[in-house]
Amino acid sequence: MVGETISTALAEVRAIYSELNRRTMQRHCRARTECCQFQLTGLTPHLTKGEALLAAKALRATGRKELPETDDGACPLLKRETGKCLIYADRPFGCRTHFCAVAGGPYARKEVIDLIRRLEDLDVRLKGDGPRKIISAVTAALAELH
Ligand code: SF4
């Protein structure tokens, strides 16, 4: 990886997520996982490369080498047996700022635009292709991590 090690990239993504958590906007994710049901919401998170690498690393930490195979249209990172996100602490930005009415609705883009820019800048430095749908983004990141 040219110009940026994976470890510094992951640290930058985690710093961005931490900054989001410190913002005063009130959001209360209750882990109801309704936003993880892509087949119902019609919406799928898109990940920049740094986010995808962090998600892939977190998935590896669960002992998995690949995304679980699924055919129900929900996020493959949603553990069916427990109804919980496999990588909740490292879940992507879109999963934190989404459209969930229960959690308080979506952030206005202007509220988080600086953080989006940081993720986009990191994507460029990592030679990413811009935000990609979660499955293809994490699949590519897993291949890159080896
Ligand atoms: S990464 Fe986790 S929080 Fe995000 S959609 Fe998938 S299961 Fe849900």
> Quick check: is 86 in a domain?
yes
| pLDDT tens-place string over residues 97-113 | 766 766 666 777 888 99
Q: What is the pTM of this model?
A: 0.89
**Ligand 1: residue whose CA is nearest its atom 2:** 85
129-to-20, 27, 95, 134 alpha-carbon distances in Å: 23, 30, 20, 13
Q: What is the mean pLDDT of residues 70-84?
A: 94
In a domain, 118, yes or no: yes
CB 143 within 8 A of CB 49: no
Residue 83, Ramachandran bin (φ over 0: left; ψ between -120 and 50: alpha; else beta): left
Q: 74: domain range?
A: 6-145
**Looking at the 3D structure of the chain, how many domains does it have?**
1
Bigger pLDDT: 28 vs 117: 117
DSSP label at residue 131: -
Question: Ligand 1 centre and the CA of 143: distance in Å?
Answer: 20
Determine, yes or no, domain membership for 106: yes
Measured between alpha carbons, how far is residue 59 from residues 23, 73, 100 in Å? Answer: 27, 19, 24
> Domain for residue 66, yes or no?
yes
| Ligand 1 nearest atom to the CA of residue 94, by list position | 4
Is residue 1 a part of any domain in this protein?
no
User: Bridge-partner residues for 118, per DSSP?
Assistant: none
CA distance 45 to 135: 9
CA of 63 to the centre of ligand 1 (A): 18
The pick from 40, 43, 77 for probing ligand 1's pocket by mutation, whose C-beta has the most ligand atoms within 8 angstroms, reads 77
Rounded CA separation 117/72 (Å) = 33
Domain-embedded: residue 120 = yes
Query: Using a 6 Å cutoff on CB, does residue 78 contact ligand 1?
Result: yes
- Residues 47-65: pLDDT tens digits? 999 999 999 999 999 999 9
